[in-house]
Structure 1
Amino acid sequence: MMKSQILTEKETEQIRFSILASGSTGNATLVETVDQKILIDCGLSGKKMAELFSQVGRSIEDLDAILITHEHSDHIKGLGVLARKYKLPIYANQKTWQAMNGMIGEVALDQKFEFGMETVKSFGSLQVESFGVSHDAAEPMFYIFHNGNKKFVMITDTGYVSDRMKGHIANADAYLFESNHDVEMLRMGRYPWNVKRRILGDEGHVSNEDAGIAMSEVIGDRTKRIYLGHLSKDNNMKDLARMSVGQTLRQEGIIVGETLDLFDTDPEQPTNLFTI
């Protein structure tokens, strides 16, 4: 009886997550505790979202809420469909709600909730903290998930990682961290210059090298896993991202495979559910 009780107490402080999809074609992440299942972003079709949930043994019907980071289509493509079909509550900040007008179709007023910048909301046992990033959207923000002493951070879609952001996200157990592009691949690639300039700018996306530098400044004693997210289909490769980030971390005295590990994400396949 005592053993079962101790196990239950441990389980109540766990966070489980799967990066369902990550990339320029669509983004979605599932975060759950013993009493909550939260979807962050819904950037794929309703059919594809159902398929991704099925692959990790979950159902959209069991969701408690959807949190939105910003209004770009690779983050909200399937939002309206899921909202209407499953009557799910949706949380976003005021400027993001305004920007989504006309993009997601009609959503019932009693499903629309405001989640302000740099605030904390409770979803059962899960405490969710929002923080702003630097991206060319109305008011982009990402999320930190706390349960007991466990901490999972999501940070993609930002042109750089400021000291303020680093203060919010330091020493998490696990991260979904943007590693969008290789600078040389981007510079030499087929994109027009105005698109390249946007990606490289302060409101664009973080490169492999800059991601590694930022990681080295926020990794803490309890950090064990970093998932490399939002890789560009045209300007990056999984092996290249892992190698580049790993080399940058090594230069800062952090050896991948010793204290922490790097993991890929994919725009089509979910990562295995993992518990911290």
Structure 2
Amino acid sequence: MAMHFSVLASGSTGNAIYVEADGQSFLVDAGLSGKQMDLLFKQIGRDASKLTGLLVTHEHSDHIKGLGILARKYKLPVYANAKTWQAMERNIGEIPLDQKFTFDMETVKTFGSLDIESFGVSHDAAEPMFYVFHHEGKKLVLITDTGYVSDRMKGTISNADMYVFESNHDVQMLRMGRYPWNTKRRILSDVGHVSNEDAAIAMSEVAGDHTKRFYLAHLSLDNNMKDLARMSVAQTLETRGIRVGEQFEIYDTDCKIPTDLVCV
């Protein structure tokens, strides 16, 4: 069975990504209520109770809000690194010991024919990390919640078939917006979020011959818009010699509506 995925929800109000391959299925983050998560699964024709496990990227509430509820309701294994477990435990409630698993940063776990690789990102959390899914020569990269994309990250994520890639904010909208300065400074910092332009620069550097799609993810409700993100990314890519639609396509994600379940 080929690898498929759907960005169930992406944005500052909640994040969750579903990935399946060869009878294995995972939810990366559960940043919406348990009820909302179940509705999102119904929209893509899948059942949360059938998940192989839950993978956690970091402890911020927009990534773990429904985690404890789903884990307890469906008796699902939960995977996170030790520092993330420590940081999030008080916010997710009691998880039975036999459902708690450690997934260290910069390691690979294998589930049947699916390999899941973790890698560190630069964000103001305990030990934030994201994931690369490898299956039968196909590669799916999930990377949001990072202040910048380092050379080390680029080496790990380069030449994937598809990406879910942070394009959080428009710098001018953020600077002129209503956020207090300390919040703006945090978002713009190396442990904040990637802007549209910086996302495009990183995209141009990691895209390869296999790359078919980028999904623009974790857009700020206050400091970005889908049309603006797409336009900014496309313009920046064009200055770097890449025309969207020729080498690869760009797709939106939404904070409430899942993307189509697509084959990688």
The TM-score, its normalising length taken from structure 2, stands at 0.99
Q: Which of 245, 252, 258 lines up with 1:264 in the alignment?
A: 252
Aligned to 1:247: 235
Cα displacement (A) at 1:189: 0.1
C-alpha distance in structure 1 between counterparts of 2:110 and 2:244, whole Å? 34
Q: Cα deviations across residues 109-143 of structure 1 (Å, max 9, x unaligned)? A: 00000000000001121100000000000000000
C-alpha distance in structure 1 between counterparts of 2:222 and 2:138, whole Å? 35
C-alpha distance in structure 1 between counterparts of 2:183 and 2:26, whole Å? 33
Deviant stretches of 4+, over 6 Å: none
Kindly report which structure 2 residues correspond to 1:36-47, keeping only aligned pairs within 5 A, or say none: 36-47=24-35
C-alpha distance in structure 2 between counterparts of 1:220 and 1:263, whole Å? 17
Cα displacement (A) at 1:251: 1.0
Aligned to 1:31: 19
Cα displacement (A) at 1:258: 1.3
C-alpha distance in structure 2 between counterparts of 1:234 and 1:187, whole Å? 11
Kindly report which structure 2 residues correspond to 1:11-160, keeping only aligned pairs within 5 A, or say none: 11=1, 14-160=2-148
Aligned to 1:226: 214
Q: Which of 182, 188, 191 lines up with 2:170 in the alignment?
A: 182
Cα displacement (A) at 1:256: 0.5
Q: Cα deviations across residues 48-78 of structure 1 (Å, max 9, x unaligned)? A: 0000000000010110100000000000000
Matched length: 264
Q: Cα deviations across residues 161-184 of structure 1 (Å, max 9, x unaligned)? A: 000000000000000000000000
C-alpha distance in structure 2 between counterparts of 1:27 and 1:261, whole Å? 22
Aligned to 1:202: 190
C-alpha distance in structure 2 between counterparts of 1:259 and 1:220, whole Å? 9
C-alpha distance in structure 2 between counterparts of 1:28 and 1:126, whole Å? 19
C-alpha distance in structure 1 between counterparts of 2:74 and 2:180, whole Å? 40
C-alpha distance in structure 1 between counterparts of 2:10 and 2:145, whole Å? 11
Cα displacement (A) at 1:34: 2.2
Secondary structure of the equivalent of 2:152?
A: helix
Q: Do the aligned residues in 1 keep the contact of 2:22 with 2:114 (CA within 8 Å)? A: no
Q: Do the aligned residues in 2 keep the contact of 1:35 with 1:125 (CA within 8 Å)? A: no
Q: Do the aligned residues in 1 keep the contact of 2:163 with 2:213 (CA within 8 Å)? A: yes
Kindly provide the amino acid, as one letter, of the partner of residue 175 in structure 1: Y
For structure 2, the 5+ residue unaligned runs are none
Q: Do the aligned residues in 1 keep the contact of 2:9 with 2:257 (CA within 8 Å)? A: yes
C-alpha distance in structure 1 between counterparts of 2:140 and 2:150, whole Å? 19
Q: Do the aligned residues in 1 keep the contact of 2:22 with 2:112 (CA within 8 Å)? A: no
Secondary structure of the equivalent of 1:102?
A: helix
C-alpha distance in structure 2 between counterparts of 1:24 and 1:217, whole Å? 26
Kindly provide the amino acid, as one letter, of the partner of residue 136 in structure 2: G
C-alpha distance in structure 2 between counterparts of 1:73 and 1:93, whole Å? 16
Kindly provide the amino acid, as one letter, of the partner of residue 92 in structure 1: A
Greater C-alpha Rg: 1
